[in-house]
Amino acid sequence: MDKPLFKLKVYEGPLDLLLDMIKNSKVDIFDIDIFEISEQFFLYIKTMKEMNMDLTADFLVMASQLLLIKSRMLLPRAEPEEEDPRRDLTWALLEYERCKENAAALAELKNRAGETFSKPPENLVFPKKYRETMPQSSIVNAYARVLLKNARRTPPRPDDFSEILKREIYSVADKITEISKRLKMAVKLDFITLFSRVRTRSEIVATFLAVLELVSDKKIKVTDAGNMNYEIEAIDGPA
């Protein structure tokens, strides 16, 4: 890594200083040379002391964190997959960089807002009488368009729902009763036979939910009979 190129200035905080060092050194933020960065950071703190600049607690805390990371980097890793000691510092720098970019974008928007001018509203005077003349055909066409638009908003007729209303409704409770009656007549039932006389999708759903309800209530059990075939049997006698 090259010699530090940062200018001696007042940074907003230690992350601001570290980010400036990394950018000037042209290194990947995900592969920080913690030893070189630490040396530059301590050199900046030393220069601040020599120039009687305010040394805030944030810089001292960061200095201690850099020393901790540096010491952990010197220790051999117990596992190859062990967490990189620089990870938390890297994510903190990335988060700070994103916030800094957003702040710069907001400042730019604020500056542009000062260049915007608005025109005050004018007091418009409308004539009290309509003085234009229109042909009779235009009025008739406008009236026809209004009628057509209102016709489209007409609510549906009861006959439109006849196909839906006449469909038979199947409840889960009815299907539970039906399955229980069938189990009283037979010790076991093939699962597929429950759907042999089913006609509609709603009846299929009600039958399947009835089976799940009976299994949940521990009134029946479903066993694998092999060859992708399942059997339903009542628990402790008929369901």
CATH 3.30.450.40 for domain 172-234, yes or no, is no
- Which tens digits make up the pLDDT trace of 122-176? 888 877 776 777 788 888 888 888 888 776 666 666 666 666 556 677 788 888 8
Say which range, 95-109, 127-141, 173-187, has the weakest mean pLDDT: 127-141
Q: Which two tokens stand for residue 114?
A: 């000062």
By the 8 A CB rule, do 42 and 64 touch? Answer: no
Compute the distance between CA of residue 120 and CA of residue 45 in angstroms, rounded to an integer.
Answer: 55
Element (H, E) at 221: strand 220-226
35: number of Cβ within 10 Å: 13
Which residues, 6+ apart, have CB-to-CB distance to 55 below 8 Å? 45, 48, 49
How much is the pLDDT for 1? Answer: 45
**pLDDT of 47 over the 50 cut:** yes
Compute the distance between CA of residue 120 and CA of residue 42 in angstroms, rounded to an integer.
Answer: 58
Spell out the domain ranges in the chain: 14-76+83-113, 172-234
How much is the pLDDT for 58? Answer: 79
pTM over 0.75: no
